[in-house]
Amino acid sequence: MSIFRLKPDPVVGIDIGTTAVKLLELSQVGDKFQVESYAMEPLPENSVEDKDISQLEAVAPAINSVVKRAKPRSQYAAVAVAGRNVITKTITMNSGLSDNEIQEQIEADPASYIGQDIEDIEFDFQMIGPNEKEPDRVDYLLAVCRSETLEVRTNVIELGGLKAKIVDIEKYALENAFKMVVENDPDIDETDTIALVEIGATTTTIIVLGDQKIVYTNEQLFGSKQLIERVVSQYDLSYEEADRAIRNGGLVSDETPLSDYETEILDPFKEDIVDQISLMIKNYNAHSSYGKLAHIFIAGGCAPIPGLIENLNTKLSGHITIVNPFSSMQLAPRVSEKALMRDAPALMIACGLALRTFDEY
């Protein structure tokens, strides 16, 4: 699905996260996807807050830097919005209406469809299918975003040297990449119920796929920002130094180990992750009739933390693995496999965005 679609064109996926900008470009070679280019650039503290860009002047140079390094073939980008300025909901309309008629009806009384009165919004919608209770009416997915949020995203992309062609919603980009992973995994049975848990810097998201469709999603404010803050206060480092040290397995300046980092800081954080994911899975089990999870994929920047997958498997006794969105893809010669594999679980959203190139319009 492409929300806030502007125009079909091959696009580069640009994921603007709290801690980094990630660029990914895919092409299709025969019946396989190929990674054409990718790059990642860390962002200064507070440049993205609550999923909103708060410092355009910090984010634009980071986009510029990934573009310069990756040299994508396309100048068009797919980006995503998320956070409190984005609302998605299912609405039911009479059947037989044209897209224009639906557009006019919503414009005439947006508050009644959105459920709250907010000004200066942009919206888009897509048909889901007949309503379950009233089969002669039709359900649509409505996505609403504050105009300013959209403008800032498209401006920052332009300042960074690309043109925004698709503005998606982060959760849908993640779902899109998850479906691709599942479709290409020969070990997964069509009837399996499977979860993806993405642990980012600020947010942890669970998505469950059952009967080949999304049957459950949930989001919690939990992520490695807590870990970064602990490292900042414990070792008197700047935010940037702390984030670099964490990504380097607890080494500062690439060689000096932070004292007691593993036992004092990382192990308790790993326990927090295990508790958080256990709770999210418990909630899923309590709210869904799709049954036990056959497999759980772990994504996001926190996925490669050493020992995390083992701890999760012990606590949750399931099939839990790190996701690799590139396992069925080819790599262009200029893409470093080592670097791509290291970052792979953190590139799910960028991947979901880059895949929009192949959506049917």
Ligand X SMILES: Nc1ncnc2c1ncn2[C@@H]1O[C@H](COP(=O)(O)OP(=O)(O)OP(=O)(O)O)[C@@H](O)[C@H]1O
Question: Measured between alpha carbons, how far is residue 361 from residues 6, 207, 249, 308 in Å?
Answer: 11, 25, 44, 40
The window from 9-17, 32-40, 60-68, 114-122 that contacts Mg ion (CB under 5 A) reads: 9-17
| Residue 228 in contact with ligand X, rule: CB under 6 A | yes
Q: How far is the CB of 195 from ligand X (least distance, A)?
A: 17
We find the least distance from the C-beta atom of residue 66 to ligand X, in angstroms, to be 13
325 binds ligand X (CB under 6 A): no
The number of helix segments (H) and strand segments (E) in the chain equals 11, 18
Distance from C-alpha of 71 to C-alpha of 48, rounded to nearest angstrom: 24
CA distance 139 to 141: 7
Q: Which is nearer to Mg ion, 200 or 210 (CB)?
A: 200
- Residues within window 151-210 making contact with ligand X, judged by CB under 6 A: 200-203
Among ligand X, Mg ion, none, what does residue 2 contact (CB within 5–8 Å per kind)?
Answer: none
CB of 349 to Mg ion, least distance (A): 6
Phi, psi of 277 (to 5 degrees): -70, -40
Burial 245-280 (b: 16+ CB within 10 A, else e): bbbeebebeeeeebeebeeebbeebbeebbebbeeb
To Mg ion, the closest distance from the beta carbon of 332 in angstroms equals: 24
| Interface segment toward ligand X; rule CB under 6 A; list 11-19, 73-81, 323-331, 352-360 | 11-19
291 vs 306 by CB, closer to ligand X: 306
Find the binder of ligand X among 10, 12, 14, 17 (CB under 6 A): 17
Are 147 and 121 spatial neighbours (Cβ–Cβ below 8 Å)? yes
Which residues, including other chains, have CB under 8 Å from residue 201's CB and lie 6 or more apart? 17, 18, 19, 223, 224, 225, 228, 301
Q: Does 18 bind ligand X (CB under 6 A)?
A: yes
**Residues listed for the chain:** 361
- Hey, what are 133's tokens? 């209770």
Binding of ligand X by 13 (CB under 6 A): no
What does 301 interact with, of Mg ion, ligand X, none (CB < 5 to 8 A by kind)?
ligand X
The reply to whether 17 sits near Mg ion by the rule CB under 5 A is: yes
If one asks whether residue 200 binds Mg ion (CB under 5 A), the answer comes out as: yes
DSSP 93-135: EETT--HHHHHHHHHH-HHHHHSS--SSEEEEEEEEEE-SS-T
Footprint of ligand X on residues 239-258 (CB under 6 A)? 243, 246-247, 249
Cα(77)–Cα(168) distance, integer angstroms: 11
Q: Which two tokens stand for residue 270?
A: 């790993």
The answer to whether 352 contacts Mg ion (rule: CB under 5 A) is no
Q: How far is the CB of 147 from Mg ion (least distance, A)?
A: 23
Per CB under 6 A, does 323 bind ligand X? Answer: no
Which residue of 300, 312, 350, 351 would you call a contact of ligand X, by CB under 6 A? 300
The answer to whether residues 246 and 228 touch, using CB atoms and an 8 Å cutoff, is yes
Binds ligand X (CB under 6 A): choice among 14, 20, 66, 197? 20
* Nearest residue to the partner Mg ion, using Cβ: 17
Tokens of residue 271, six digits? 């326990």
CB of 200 to Mg ion, least distance (A): 4
* Helix (H) or strand (E) run with residue 78 in it: strand 76-81
Query: At its nearest, how many Å lie between Mg ion and the CB of residue 302?
Result: 11
Of 10, 110, 160, 301, the one binding ligand X by CB under 6 A: 301
Q: Rank residues 13 and 200 by Cβ distance to Mg ion and give the closer one.
A: 200
Binding site for ligand X (CB under 6 A): 17-20, 200-203, 223-224, 227-228, 243, 246-247, 249, 300-302, 304-305, 346
Binding site for Mg ion (CB under 5 A): 17, 200
